[in-house]
Amino acid sequence: MSEANGQNHRLYIGSHDGVCALSSLDGGNTWKASQRTPLSHAASRLTASSSNPRRAYLAAYESGVYRTDDGGVTWQHLTTYPSDYAHSVLVHPDDHQRVYVGSEPATIFSSRDGGETWKEDMGFKAVPESSQWSFHSETRDSHVRDLRMAPHDPATLYAGVEVGGIVRSRDEGQTWKQLPGLHDDIHCIGLSPARPRTVYVATARGPYRSDDEGEHWELINQGLERRYALHVSAAPEDANIVLLTVSENSRRLNPQLLRSTNGGRDWQAVDAIGGDDDMVVGIDWDTNNSRRVYAGTDHGRVYYSDDSGESWTQIQVELGTIAVGALAAG
């Protein structure tokens, strides 16, 4: 998401110990980084408001939720958030005060006043399958790794549970339904306004696609040598254009950025970025220019593409690292 002025661009970027904003006033030709705000734990997810161009929210793993109201210059720690854990965050497209946060153990908290007060969405825990959700570590529990809102219907929410599967609500989070048929180690959900019923999911077994809002799933890993999928994102103007990051395993061995122009039926490697153990860990699209997409890598490199991910240009800024999923255009 970008500011109303098509020449102004802003990126929010979270690292393992801080968060900052990159801004451009000349259409993305030159960029300036704000002062980094320190975090006590790694950033998990960032989301920018489309109704308030200077507001964004940050989920910061074990240190809760943060909010900026000045385009990333300063960040306020939302101390009333009722959990230490924040893995994912989502803001309503028409109401910058309304925000959802995915936590650990897997649950969802929501706020209607910008994070001043919160309530737990009890319908999420009422999902019968939730008793089977677990994580493959004795020191961790299942958690809501990703949260997305259907582009055509803000009442429809998707939650990706690691490890647990995909859960959907059609009533703004009041009630939820588990969507079976895909691998349950969920990392990322991708949606596109161009085809609102299509859902892409990145899992530990590979990418999946559904064309009926998650009722049925197809594994779309044809020809993939590396199938541990970390991030997936579909173009806003063409849901057949999909970007996917994969590696050999959870340690991100031999990472690769892939691109599809036919909805994941075939994949082509993008050699310009995302290799040499520098995995693409964050992707987001510019809403003023539907062909512009941004990508951030594990080693702190940031790129943009003006042809929907076919070719890439590096933004010349110095960043330490970028946390998984912690990149948002705003």
pLDDT digits (tens, 9 = 90+) for 256-300: 999 999 999 999 999 999 888 899 999 999 978 999 999 999 999
In contact, 160 and 144? CB cutoff 8 Å: yes
Number of domains in the chain: 1
pLDDT digit string, tens, across residues 36-74: 999 999 999 999 999 999 999 999 999 999 999 999 999
Residue 4 lies in a domain: no
The domain in which residue 48 lies consists of 9-329
Distance between CA atoms of residues 198 and 212, nearest Å: 6
pLDDT digit string, tens, across residues 82-115: 999 999 999 999 999 999 999 999 999 999 999 9
Residue 205 lies in a domain: yes
Tokens of 27: 């259409």
Residue 2 lies in a domain: no
H-helix or E-strand spanning residue 125:
helix 122-125
Residue 1 lies in a domain: no
Mean pLDDT of the 310-329 span: 93
pLDDT given for residue 6 in this prediction: 62
In contact, 230 and 247? CB cutoff 8 Å: yes
pLDDT given for residue 2 in this prediction: 46
Q: For residue 318, name the pLDDT band (cuts at 50, 70, 90).
A: confident
For residue 236, the domain's CATH number is 2.130.10.10
Residue 71 lies in a domain: yes
Q: Which has the closest alpha carbon to 99: 74, 76, 119, 84?
A: 119
Residue 3 lies in a domain: no
* C-alpha dihedral, 120 to 128 to 145 to 171, nearest 10°: -60
